[in-house]
Chains A and B, each alone.
Chain A
């Protein structure tokens, strides 16, 4: 027993060094599995507050570019207004409606919630974005985030009462399912950690007809994003050795360098779908 104490006293510094390194590496590994302690709630609130002070100054420098992008977004929306479209002449045609009205009424699946970007990183190998709205605005983990021009930015990974953290597309764990708009082939998104704004889409079969400049959109196979939201435009097509798949690199439609505002997409059916999925996963 005495020898053990002597040993600890002799190598105290080295043992402390090993312990602290161990804690750090444990934090790195455990974070990706989403086992994050309650401590992060407090820490995120503190850093969130400092960040929002800073960004309120920084936002002035982006006002011009922000206005331009909002103008574009508004133009798109105005063009979709009902008033722009004339109804076809229906008086010449008559038909009996046999379906109950209720069943063809539209209902809302997706709601957009606007938020200001408080902190944003591009240069790190794992990038995160912080928004200034959280649980109080109904934001939950797993919701999708788009920029003002409706291009995919990332997925919410953490929320506090007033802030939420978004895992951006530029993160090694971000695997959104995307597809080619032309040929409808679906693949999985990944980022190699090097150039911002250049992301790759893997598992595209070699039978696909792709050309540079094609649009890549969301597939709608997950509950996070509606179908057909812009992801980016194809930059190059690369053959993957010894496999039947292409690796398609594309420029992201969202500009991560200039991102003052973002929208969080709430899906009314997310909980219902996730519950069923959980049930399936539980079965052996």
Chain B
């Protein structure tokens, strides 16, 4: 399957899963489970930053339209799409390693810990920016803080279990081939 088709399918599946399964689950008023941003986490390494941000905007905007108040998720997705390349540069085990694999995973980032940091930081950024924009209208700092921490923990668990459930086979590629 080509990378384009694969990512289009992922986009649709993540949005549908988010809207029709996760949004229907009411865990607690402090916890909003999110998984749809894994689409951005899984985009190929070689994608240009501009395209990353445009895709992030599109993803957030699509989800916003199901929630009938545009802007919130698009802002958060654009932020993590912008930060993603910086993080990858910091975490990648050796220079040029991003050309060996197609997209971020346990293997290509060199273990579970770097991947946890990668997804954890992005989720924390996404949630804090999203809840900040939402809390801005209500103005309650502690509520915002606790909600961000708890939701991030739940999202991280979701991301890990998804990663373990659906193993993505990625061939190792070398520059010489």
Contact = CB atoms under 8 A, between A and B. Distances in A.
Interface of A: 12-13, 16-17, 20-21, 23-29, 31, 40, 43-44, 46-47, 51, 54, 119, 121-126, 128, 130, 158, 165, 172, 192-196, 257
A195 B29 contact: yes
B42 interface: no
Given A16-B50, A194-B29, A196-B29, A24 B68 contact: no
Contact of B67 (A16, A21, A121, A193): A121
Interface in B62-89: 64-72, 74-75, 78-79, 82
A197 to B, nearest CB: 11
Nearest to A36: B70
Which 9 residue pairs of A and B lie closest in terms of their CB atoms, listed nearest first? A28-B71, A27-B71, A24-B75, A128-B68, A27-B70, A20-B78, A24-B74, A43-B65, A17-B82
Given A25-B71, A125-B137, 13 more contacts: A17-B82, A21-B78, A24-B57, A24-B60, A25-B133, A27-B71, A28-B69, A29-B71, A51-B66, A119-B66, A123-B32, A126-B69, A193-B137
A181 B9 CA distance: 54
Contacts, number: 94
Interface residues of B, number: 33
Contact of A31 (B32, B70, B75): B70
A172 B50 contact: no
Contact of B68 (A17, A46, A130): A130
Contacts of B140: 192
A24 B71 contact: yes
B23 interface: yes
Contacts of B50: 12-13, 16
B121 to A, nearest CB: 17
A66 to B, nearest CB: 17
Given A47-B65, A126-B69, A172 B29 contact: no
B138 interface: yes
Interface of B: 20, 23, 26, 29, 32, 49-50, 53-54, 56-57, 60, 64-72, 74-75, 78-79, 82, 133-135, 137-138, 140, 143
A29 B134 CA distance: 11
A192 B68 contact: no
Contacts of A158: 68
A13 B74 contact: no
Contacts of B67: 121, 124, 128
A278 to B, nearest CB: 27
Contact of A172 (B53, B64, B66, B138): B138
Contacts of A13: 49-50, 53, 82
Contacts of B49: 13
Nearest to B131: A125
A156 to B, nearest CB: 12
Contacts of B72: 24, 28
A125 B65 contact: no
A104 to B, nearest CB: 45
Nearest to A172: B137
A20 B66 contact: no
